Amino acid sequence: MPGIVMNKEKENLKQTHQQTCALHTLKVNNLNAVRQFFPQNSRELSDYLAKALNEAQNSFDLVSKIPKNLRDFDNTFYPLDAAETLIYSRRRAIEAISKTHPDSFFRDEATVCKDILVEFSLNLFSSKSVYNMYNEAYKNIEKNKASLSKEKEDYMNWKMQSLRAEGLHLEDSDYLKVKALKTDINHLESSFLKNIDEDKSFILVKDEELLGVPENTRTSLIKENESFTKITCQYPHYFPVMRYCKVEKTRQSLYRVFESRAAQKNVPILKELIQKRNRLANLLGYESFAHLDISDQLAQTPETVEKFLLSLKAGIQDKLKSEIEELTKELPDGISLDENNCIKPWDLMYLQENYKKKHYNVDEIAFQEYFPFERTLKKIMKMFEKMFSLEIEIIDTENKGLWNTPGWILVIKDKLNKSRIAGHIILDPFPRVGKFSHGYCFDVLSPCRLPSGDVNPAIVLLMVNFTPPSAMKESTLQHDELDMLFHELGHAFHQLLGIAEMPSRSGLHMQHLDAVEWPSRLFEFLIWEKENLKQLGEHFQTGLPIPDVLIDAKINSQNALSGITYTKYFYLSMFALKCFSSATQNPKLLREEIEKEFLPNIVCDPQINKEGSFQHLAEHFYRSKYYAYFWADVFAFDSYDHIIHQQKQGITNSWLKFRELVLDHGGGRDPNDQAFQFLGRFPTIETYLNKILNNDIVSS
């Protein structure tokens, strides 16, 4: 029987691939192996690059030799996915150098290597020949789809769709047009982001124009000359000045410069980007770029996203209105409304800060003294051990972080699976020159299920920039920093525990960007719970427990003025969506129309060009999908509500259930199905709105 011979041949092919799969041979299960995963010097870096290119090429060559009629999931889809996943991890290790290494020369070298790797990977895995391999396998599998698991079938369908979104199925002449457009678009996106990164906008003010700015901010400002001081658009300058400076002219100038960062260069780029992305989408058979961009997301269409955003806007508008009334009821000295009784945008943060101080009395400085970083971290890990059935060891490697820099390495063992090592978290906690300046969970290596059933452990690099220790005082964390830590730990544990059937879907790699922030946003709730704050807090000097009054004030302020905050996000989400669903020639006008519609009581300042400084528009993951944060919020808020509800009924294992039903599957399963299993129903906007509307304004 020819069928039997074919099956045997296929079985042999499958075994050859399993034995030669470079991803399967990685064994990063101890500290030494973790360090060795990152090249430590120039020589190691060039060897590493050569190795990465070789591994990918070898896997590709092996798959390309398989006869057409024998192609199937196991010998084509899986090994190509494993090879692509491995080269991605190698790239992440190299990027870790360019984003965090103390040596600027080595950082630059790493950036060059990363670019080589990205281009090589694109040429290899987004080529017509690779499309043909996938397509041959797909046609063979079509005849016998029943043998695939749902996870693999979903992946296969998505993969074919995403290859078509590259134009790889088109005739050569059209494909070349798509390719040229994509190259142009990539360049435009890079320039847009680079212009924002490199922007050095500032304003110059006289001493008396800094009235009200806190002393520690003032001392960090640089004197331009005898009479003028420079205020840059960096966050540690911008926010304190906007919140506290009593001089309107200073706030107004800084607001205008900040909201138009890089705009002069970026507005023309954005206009070109809008037209080119639209042309690309049309060539690929989509109505607009937003239609293409959202087609593989949970929301599926721009129309659904628009409805979603309009429902949120409608749901929150009463709260927005009452907040504006509260803010404008008793204006502080020196603040006035415009002729239409609207708030001037440069007064908004000042008014908000004033209001919070008056009504919530949060003492951020006293609060911070109760959260010494290292002790708090240990307690957080104890908490996670219980919640998720883990064993966590914190290896104290003072000045022995990844690059002999300060930091900790955490070893996570899984008690649900014979205490196997799930992976390592490298925590790089403090700022230093040349280090990436935001918070980010860097998904270096995803866990991988081996044919034997064992799992190769994962690596996470958690980059944050928290208050560093000083000669006088150890590092203590502000509530904002704790919030960010919990957020990033949500991503980190998703990355460590998430084992999908496909390597590229393991860890935090969800196909649906509009669900990626589900675990991270859910974890944030933990740091707003009174019991947790009491358990984690102890005074850095005296060791005394944190007083209730500090915690209560903080918790009460959680949703203070959330109507304004969220409506701003919803307006920007609508703008990102409309920008790429309408192929507008005039993004500024479009943004202003939406801004006026969403925030009618705040002056829309014609002098700013925010569309040029809105970096998500050019970021690979976001583009038209800024809404994705809030779609994921709906999942997170509903999940938290469910957990609290369960706890009230005495059910204490809800977090473990969340681990088992959501985190443990990485990006392998459909988030809608996962949410249904966890909640017993699909998530709803109502729960989300109820939660952000909570904490009504404290009457004055």
Minimum CB distance to Zn ion, residue 516 (Å): 7
Minimum CB distance to Zn ion, residue 491 (Å): 6
Minimum CB distance to Zn ion, residue 487 (Å): 6
CB 320 within 8 A of CB 563: yes
Site for Zn ion in 376-435 (CB under 5 A): none
Minimum CB distance to Zn ion, residue 686 (Å): 24
In this complex, which beta carbon is closest to Zn ion, that of residue 520 or of residue 559?
Answer: 520
Minimum CB distance to Zn ion, residue 518 (Å): 10
Minimum CB distance to Zn ion, residue 158 (Å): 22
Map 193-242 to HEC letters: HHHHHHCCCEEEECHHHHCCCCHHHHHHCEECCCCCEEEECCHHHHHHHH
Minimum CB distance to Zn ion, residue 524 (Å): 9
In this complex, which beta carbon is closest to Zn ion, that of residue 489 or of residue 643?
Answer: 489
What is the chain's alpha carbon radius of gyration, rounded to the nearest angstrom? 26
Kindly list the distances between the CA atom of residue 580 and the CA atoms of 185, 286, 313, 561, 628, in Å, as whole numbers in the listed order: 13, 12, 20, 30, 15
Instruction: List the x/- string, 467-506, binding to Zn ion by CB under 5 A.
Output: ----------------------------------------
Among candidate residues 270, 310, 278, the one with its CA nearest the CA of residue 594: 310
Number of residues that bind Zn ion (CB under 5 A): 2
Give all strands of the β-sheet with 440-445 in edge-to-edge order: 390-396, 408-414, 420-428, 458-463, 440-445
Contact stretch for Zn ion (CB under 5 A) within 131-139, 284-292, 458-466, 513-521: 513-521
Residue 116 β-bridge partners:
none
Minimum CB distance to Zn ion, residue 428 (Å): 17
For Cα atoms 371, 443, 506, give the angle at the middle one, nearest 5 degrees. Answer: 120
In this complex, which beta carbon is closest to Zn ion, that of residue 229 or of residue 520?
Answer: 520
Q: How far apart are CA 267 and CA 237, in angstroms?
A: 25
Contact stretch for Zn ion (CB under 5 A) within 193-201, 299-307, 520-528, 610-618: 520-528
Q: What is the per-residue DSSP string for 4-32? A: HHHHHHHHHHHHHHHHH-HHHH----SHH
Minimum CB distance to Zn ion, residue 517 (Å): 5
In this complex, which beta carbon is closest to Zn ion, that of residue 76 or of residue 446?
Answer: 446
Neighbours of 635 (CB within 10 A): 27
Instruction: List the x/- string, 537-566, binding to Zn ion by CB under 5 A.
Output: ------------------------------
Q: What is the residue whose two structure tokens read 């695939």?
A: 148
Q: What is the residue whose two structure tokens read 């701003």?
A: 568
Contact stretch for Zn ion (CB under 5 A) within 135-143, 242-250, 369-377, 515-523: 515-523
In this complex, which beta carbon is closest to Zn ion, that of residue 335 or of residue 508?
Answer: 508
In this complex, which beta carbon is closest to Zn ion, that of residue 199 or of residue 633?
Answer: 633
In this complex, which beta carbon is closest to Zn ion, that of residue 579 or of residue 636?
Answer: 636
In this complex, which beta carbon is closest to Zn ion, that of residue 520 or of residue 562?
Answer: 520
Q: What is the residue whose two structure tokens read 């009821």?
A: 329
CB 254 within 8 A of CB 229: no
Q: How far apart are CA 514 and CA 30, in angstroms?
A: 34
Among 89, 250, 467, 520, binds Zn ion (CB under 5 A): 520
Which spans of this chain sit near Zn ion (rule: CB under 5 A)?
Answer: 517, 520
